[in-house]
A and B are shown apart, each in its own frame.
Chain A
Amino acid sequence: MAKAASSNSNKSRTPAKPTDSEPSAAGAGDFALHSLQDALEKDPRYKASQEELLGFYEQMLLIRRFEERAGQLYGLGLIGGFCHLYIGQEAVAVGLQSGLEEGKDSVITGYRDHGHMLAYGIDPNIIMAELTGRQAGISKGKGGSMHMFSTEHAFYGGHGIVGAQVSLGGGLAFAHKYRDDGGLCLAYFGDGAANQGQVYETFNMASLWQLPIVFVVENNQYAMGTSVKRSSAETEFYRRGAAFRIPGLRVNGMDVLEVHQAGRIAAEHVRSGKGPVLMELSTYRYRGHSMSDPAKYRTREEVQDMREHNDPIERAKAELLEMGVAEDKLKDIDKAIRARVAEAADFAETSPEPEPSELYTDVLVESY
């Protein structure tokens, strides 16, 4: 493997651009497109302790309740414009991000970003306040639902242009390698974004340069109103890295323990310097694409069936009960989360709007 990945020139080590490194891990004999999938199939579910699973459960439930509340605030006119809810997909962000080193690894995603922020434990108050466009919001209300960032958590946003964040993720991974900081980038995108050309430009560069990046396709089956099969020649997205020698992983995104296990396998591969991984997480959003969605592209029964038989939170709950967790304890958790979300909603509703002077701040480094 290339030992080129090095720190910046003003640090002590010899600088070397990641692009100069030999993609030796992809040596023809070693390359096994299915190696990660084989590893996952051998041991598909993370063996979580009761405490760990409770943690996942709490996070997923927080996302769900938060999003339900956001939907209500939207209905009341307190949130304007666009608002893409994560309900149904909670296991993805929680299962994956729980395996990252927060603050060291970078995360970047598209416009359906509330869940990814909550999965990182970012204060629900300031997320909700961003949705309502208040000064206390994480982007001072100027970003809104789709454009939220946190340097502290190395969360690089929240991007409103479909697929554009994937190329940025390539740059983040490049920087991890250049700095030799041991971090990786987790770049989320959807099944719709997977058809953007720049995604493949990034695949090529990431593999060529053996960048530490995990590409994550959150396949929720619908690009707004267009089903995967109506937009995609290859509907098995995890295979799409093959042409770039990127190993793929197909994962049940409705099972937080499988997601977590797959995330660990992917991260280990990437951290050992073997280059990118492409994960496809099969998931499902229960709500509309955004808040105005006639939902004519799928049946009510399809959604209902998913909710009843494949819900990630219910699955975790059943397992917790099986592990011997008392039902009352789960009820208490739900109650506490509801209170937490109500507090966030109150905060978001009562916080002041930004001052008009904010209009001209943060446009360029210099003020003008």
Chain B
Amino acid sequence: MATVSRDDVVSLADAPARPMNMIEAINDALDIMLERDPDVIVMGEDVGYFGGVFRATASLQEKYGKTRVFDTPISENGIIGAAVGMGAYGLRPVPEIQFADYIYPGLDQLISEAARLRYRSAGEFIAPMTVRSPFGGGIFGGQTHSQSPEAIFTHVAGLKTVVPSTPHDAKGLLIAAIEDNDPVIFFEPKRIYNGPFDGYYDKPTKPWKDHPDARVPEGYYSIPLGKARTVREGHAMTVLTYGTMVHVAEAVCREKGVDAEILDLRTLLPLDIEAVENSVEKTGRCLVIHEATRTSGFGAELAAQVQERCFYHLEAPVERVTGFDTPYPHSLEWAYFPGPIRIGEAIDKLLGA
């Protein structure tokens, strides 16, 4: 299936659309792909009868039957391993790992098999699969239900890593991921499943329905992997971020009245380095925000690439706001979470430099 170009996506604005939250958008994407392609299979813990712990696969088993949408035992290693074999045989499995924190038992299969099959068979065998997994914190999950392990996967040659931040993108990116011929890790920021959480945890989160990016076009469309989205244009600095932190960054910039350009990377690997470069060259300042721990986080890669490519345009050192280098704490969740205060301080520092 040919993917839709960026221009086509824009034209979707005129297509019939309705507001969805992120769960509904993901469910819609799975529904469409199950409908379009008989090779697509949805599998995972509690995804069938139960409809998924976050309801992302609700009613799909009823519609497509137990052969295509089915429950697995709690065996992450086995789930990913089976998906590699399915993909190699020609199917398009979409396994769900219930929480990103549970993905580690499957790492051997993901890294040594899924990511490497193409290379070691010199392209004869591929392992197309989309591993969907809710990730990130903000729901008091403690250390085993809150992690953001994206940098583990961007470090592995042979995998693609996607993180949507809106219902509109979640649907289009998931469809593109399923159609992609490489294994894709599709991390869904669970804190924003039901509303665009802006980091002000002591205030109620607004639901998605009034957000412009909650308007999800009906039917099939895809958003190409490797293309960043400009959330807002600006000249004072470039903010590079993804997932939940897009909304936090946006709220802080709005509150502080900063003329920042915010890029939602959407795909970490392949990375839209061109968009990054163009923006940083324009603004001369760069702030990177992610929720994952700091050391060897994806922000380190971004900072390195920005200085390699934009060094002579930079007015200040690249600044990072991230989670701390600690396990994700239960009770100190909001101290760990890179919230508005820390982002605000980093902005002040960058502008003062």
Contacts and interface: CB of A to CB of B under 8 A. Distances in A.
A196 B74 CA distance: 6
Interface stretch (A14-22, A118-126, A300-308, A352-360): A352-360
A196 B140 CA distance: 26
A81 B141 contact: yes
Find the residue from B75, B78, B104, B139 having the highest chain A CB count within 10 A: B75
Interface in B21-77: 45-46, 49-50, 53, 71-77
Contacts of B74: 162-163, 192-193, 195-196, 223, 231
Contacts of B72: 231
Given A133-B330, A143-B330, A160-B144, A197 B336 contact: no
Contact of B75 (A142, A197, A354): A197
Interface class of chain B by DSSP: loop
A224 B50 contact: yes
Interface class of chain A by DSSP: loop
A68 B325 CA distance: 36
A224 B142 contact: no
Contacts of B75: 195-197
B353 interface: no
Contacts of A356: 332, 335
A144 interface: yes
Contact of A225 (B49, B143, B335): B49
Interface residues on B, range: 35 or more
B212 interface: no
B67 to A, nearest CB: 14
B332 A359 contact: yes
Contacts of A141: 329-332
A164 B104 CA distance: 11
Contacts of A160: 101, 142-145
A81 B105 contact: no
B327 interface: yes
B142 to A, nearest CB: 4
B97 to A, nearest CB: 12
Contacts of B140: 80-82, 144
A350 interface: no
B331 A162 contact: no
A226 B144 contact: no
B115 to A, nearest CB: 20
13 contacts: A82-B142, A161-B101, A161-B105, A193-B74, A196-B76, A224-B50, A225-B53, A226-B46, A226-B50, A231-B72, A231-B73, A297-B50, A356-B335
Interface of B: 45-46, 49-50, 53, 71-78, 101-102, 104-105, 139-145, 324-327, 329-333, 335-336
**3 closest residue pairs by CB, A with B:** A133-B331, A81-B140, A195-B73
